[in-house]
Amino acid sequence: MNFNSNRVIIIRLIILATAIIFVARLFYLQLIDSSYKASAEGNIIRRVTAYPSRGLIFDRDSEIVVCNAPIYDLMLVPHQVKKIDTLKFCQLLNLPIEEFIKRYKICKKFSAYIPSVFESQLSNSMYGRLQEFLIEFPGFYVQPRTIRDYPSLSGAHVFGYTGEISKKKLKKIGGEYRMGDYIGISGLEESYESLLKGMRGVRHVMVNVRGAEMGAFKEGLYDTVSISGLDLTSTLKSSLQKYGEQLMVNKTGAIVCIEPSSGEVLAFVSSPTYNPVELTGKGFSTNYKKLSMDTLKPLFNRSIMAQYPPGSVFKIVNHLIALQEKLINNQTSFSCDGAYNIASLSVGCHPHSSPLNLEQSIQYSCNSYYCYVFRYILENNKYKNIEMTYSSWRNHVTSLGFGNILNTDLPNEKGGFIPPTSYYNKYFGAGKWKWTTVISLAIGQGEILCTPLQLANFASIIANRGFYYIPHFVKRISHSDQIKSKYRQKNYSDFDSIHFITLINGMKRAVDDGTATMAKIKDIEICGKTGTAQNPHGKDHSIFIGFAPKDNPKIAVAAIIENSGFGGTWAAPLASLMVEKYLTDTISRGWIEEYILKADLLKK
Amino acid sequence: MSKHSTIKVGTIDWLAVIFYMALVVSGWLSIYASVYDMETGKSIFDIQTNSGRQFLWMLVSWLIIIPIITVDYKLFDSLAYLLYILTLVILVLVIFFGTEIRGSHSWITVFGFRFQPLELAKITTSLTIARYLSKYDTKIGLMKSQIILFSLIGIPALLIIGGGETGSALVFAAFVFVFYREGMSGNILLFAFLFIILFGLTLMLNIYYLLAGLGVITFIIGILLRKNKNALIFIITAGIISMGIVLSENYLLHHVLKPHQIRRLETLVNPNADPLGMGWNVTQSKIAIGSGGFLGKGFLEGTQTKFDFVPEQSTDFIFCTIAEEKGFTGSIIIIGLFVALFIRIILIAERQKSAFSRIYAYCVLSVLFFHFAINIAMTLGLAPVIGIPLPFISYGGSSLVGFTMLFFIMLKLDAYQGFILR
């Protein structure tokens, strides 16, 4: 051939050289270097999160009220499944065969090699049944994890619930949370999330191509251990809580019991409630949907979120203000002929003897008496004008914990409403309103609103003769008593303790022989005040606040039963049952208990 | 080359066809293995899987062979320019109207079938180069001819880059083999080699250090060779050309290549820098190959090449599956088949009486060899991840049909090896 034959040889050589390089490289990769072979065995290092166990919650008697329950997810690695007895498997799982095929396809579609959940949260009996046969079904295995459990089956509104973190929240707080993580969504689960959650650990595991773990990477050199969340001791008394929830069946409303000497909440009932277990695990979404659709709003925490006019209970406030401002004294009497009439204004009253002194005004809850008192307060010549007088009145009221949130340790607390001066100025025009305009405030009607927690706290202030601790729900964190200092600090109201004497005597008489006689308990000196709050949405709300014993009180209570009628008829006996249960752990008045338990006071 | 005593008119080179078939069938089996799911055990003909679709494409390819074999062989010569221009028009159109697949505007959809016209461009460019170079007045030593030749491969390459397929555009560089065979200076190969080496260095080193280093080296060698005037001029020229190459490559890196392409190149230099990102393909591919051992894991028994450990398993990384399941022996057989095919093509080329047929056969060789070399080098971690298929083996309708046409046009021309075109 021509000169090109050299070039043809060079081209051939290039081809051969390339082939030789490839063969040499293959020789090295496939026959010499064993590290690639080893890599193929443990192809990837998988970071496995070690989830910490969430902190437990105990009640004040160290009874476990919130804990973690192990559940078992049935996992499937489709690619490992080999000739299984599908029929037997479906029988074990109580699963129609079509469903089996459907789920299998879904898992398979996701990945043939990565495990997916085939059936989440097997029941214990199912798990037991399945366990011994699992060996016959390669590709299926059971993976344990935990969900929240509430063994007391009560206190849903205190403990709240946990659930998967939402995308929105994840975006907002991010940090250590990841998609699919559980987080406290309401109640103590939410407010103590940072303590309860613990710290997650991470394991580095070598995983082969079939997803099977091949052991720890570098013998766990880079692994961290998960740290359990801190345990909380709640202030609740679980037995009292349960009893309260039982009493409130077929009633809407709330009961709050507080230990006055510490501000610890003993019972916190919002009715209707739900079984906290309903919002765990498998049934979460269906139950949540059901609960949120319920017209009685069981998810709504009435005890801190519902705001009611306090009704006659509020007379106590005006009583204290008038004494503190030295506008009346213990002997001040007013007569009442069944109504308070001045000019065009008339406030009705109910029949009782007349005239009444200060103590009797509480005993019989006289409307006319408090109209007089209120006039005194708002016509106090100490102040220049109505605005200043009203502001002074309002300051006294708010010193009792009304009108603002109390800052308890549950989320979403509402503050109630005590109208500021500007409210009336805006409504009626500055200087164009006077005491008669706002006369309904005398008897706790009108614009004012408060939450059941505020009412219970108010009862606690009376029991303490003038001060309160912010009501709270956690008394111990882990094994130390280090709760926030704000819960250990006395908050004084504007009122000297001396002004509570007549008041408390009046409240004692109201129970013994006044408006709240159904709250009377043998051998227990219980003091109380009823309220009957008018509201535009139906029957009056029945309200009662009280405490017992009269000296050295152990429990303060507020009860509200929506749309049920007089305070003395429902709220008073109901609250007295709570008091009796707490103080004596027995109920001496079976008929009262039965009367309350049987009552169906749901708004029809 | 031995002289052939008998001229077999109209006879296909059956040995070449056997190599072709062997590669296509082993490719098909490997595609099946790479998508095979032990559990469902779908058939190799299942149209839902890549292997089933590849089988269809095999049939389509074989159907296309029939007209190639039956048409007048002179047509390939006479229609070369027309087809080339037509291809360029399609390549322009596809940039603007093409179907976008994974960021690449290089597909056209005809009757529901997607096709990459760049496969067509390989064929028509080959025919055009063969026609131009075989013209009696083309002198490959002349600057004018060289400019025309490089334009002929440069224009479709640029249009393909415009369509987002930089990897495939590189294939057109393979034609320098043809130019070399046809008498262009051997420096062209050295130049290409220098280009590649410097490209690697540009990736690894700071551009200023590199330029300074080149300057220093040129200077030192220049001082050593200062007595020999010709050598001195050569070295200085080489130094300046090198710096020019580095500067243009640097420009290419920062202004032409997309970030993912640069990352692919960087991964080549250090695959461990980003083991879960770009280095993933390379590392996983090497693991898969390494785990094959001497005899491999057996057909359909591969583990690394299933799941998603090696991405684009049945297309660009098909050689992994072969290396894993068939081991060292199987890999050598495949490489051996390719080498045998290449040697056979050289033999075919050299026995042509017609320059057109010879040059075309070298074009076929260049295109196939370039794909083979780059694809396997990439799989073995020796070249950057350039998404080009392994001829006849990789999954993909366009490439199989394209390579088949390319190859069988050569065989058709070979059937008339004794005739001189024109």
With a CB-CB cutoff of 8 Å, which residues 12-51 of chain B face chain A?
37-39
Residue at B370 is within a domain: yes
Q: Which residues of A touch B181 (CB under 8 A)?
A: 4, 7-8, 11
Q: Which residues of A touch B179 (CB under 8 A)?
A: none
> Strands A232-234 and A57-58, how do they pair?
parallel
Spatial distance between the Cα atoms of A602 and A272, rounded to a whole number of angstroms: 10
Q: Residue B369 CA to chain centroid, in angstroms?
A: 6
Residue at B228 is within a domain: no
Q: What is the mean pLDDT of chain B?
A: 82
Of the partner residues A18, A79, A209, the one whose CB lies closest to the CB of residue B39: A79
Structural domains in chain A, sorted by start? 47-234 (3.90.1310.10), 238-288+302-598 (3.40.710.10)
Sign of CA dihedral B389, B392, B397, B398: positive
* Phi-psi group of A62: left, alpha or beta (phi > 0 → left; psi -120 to 50 → alpha; rest → beta): left
Q: What pLDDT does residue A397 have? A: 95
* Phi-psi group of A251: left, alpha or beta (phi > 0 → left; psi -120 to 50 → alpha; rest → beta): beta
DSSP one-letter string for B224-247: HTTT-HHHHHHHHHHHHHHHHHHH
Residue at B231 is within a domain: no
- Residue A409 CA: distances (Å) to CA of A67, A172, A264: 20, 22, 11
Of the partner residues A15, A21, A37, the one whose CB lies closest to the CB of residue B369: A15
Residue at B174 is within a domain: yes
Spatial distance between the Cα atoms of B407 and B411, rounded to a whole number of angstroms: 7
Q: What pLDDT does residue B273 have? A: 46
Q: What pLDDT does residue A35 have? A: 65
Kindly report the number of other CB atoms within 10 A of residue B21's CB atom. 14
Mean pLDDT split into 10-residue runs, chain A, 604 residues: 72 92 90 66 56 89 90 79 83 87 83 73 81 79 81 92 83 71 90 88 63 62 78 94 94 95 95 90 86 90 93 93 91 85 78 86 90 90 88 94 94 93 88 85 89 96 95 88 84 93 93 91 92 85 94 95 90 94 92 91 72
- Name the residue among A72, A211, A207, A92 with its Cα closest to residue A143: A72
Q: What pLDDT does residue B208 have? A: 82
- Residue A335 CA: distances (Å) to CA of A368, A438, B72: 8, 22, 129
Of the partner residues B286, B290, B304, the one whose CB lies closest to the CB of residue A209: B304
Lowest average pLDDT, out of A553-557, B217-221, B294-298, B405-409, goes to B294-298
The pLDDT tens digits of the residues spanning B69-81 come to: 888 888 898 999 9
C-beta separation of B247 from B240 below 8 A: no
- Least Cα separation, residue A5 to chain B (angstroms): 8
Mean pLDDT of B54-59: 92
Spatial distance between the Cα atoms of B372 and B338, rounded to a whole number of angstroms: 8
Residue at B3 is within a domain: no
N-terminal to C-terminal alpha carbon distance within chain A: 111
For A297-319, b where at least 16 C-beta lie within 10 A, e where not — what string? bbbbbbbbbbbbbbbbbbbbbbb
Number of domains in chain B: 1
C-beta separation of B398 from B115 below 8 A: yes
Disruptive mutation site among A35, A36, A111 for chain B (greatest number of B CBs within 10 Å): A36
Spatial distance between the Cα atoms of B359 and B131, rounded to a whole number of angstroms: 8
Residue at B289 is within a domain: yes
Residue at B353 is within a domain: yes
- Name the residue among A469, A465, A458, A464 with its Cα closest to residue A409: A469
Residue B203 has pLDDT above 90, yes or no: no
Domain of B339 in residue numbering reads as 14-185+258-415
Residue B252 has pLDDT above 80, yes or no: no
Spatial distance between the Cα atoms of A90 and A504, rounded to a whole number of angstroms: 69
Of the partner residues A23, A33, A208, the one whose CB lies closest to the CB of residue B290: A33
Helix axes of A315-324 and A500-513: crossing angle, nearest 10 degrees? 150
The pLDDT tens digits of the residues spanning B264-304 come to: 666 555 544 444 444 556 667 777 788 788 887 777 766 55
Band the pLDDT of B88: cuts 50, 70, 90: very high
Residue at B314 is within a domain: yes
- Least Cα separation, residue A211 to chain B (angstroms): 10
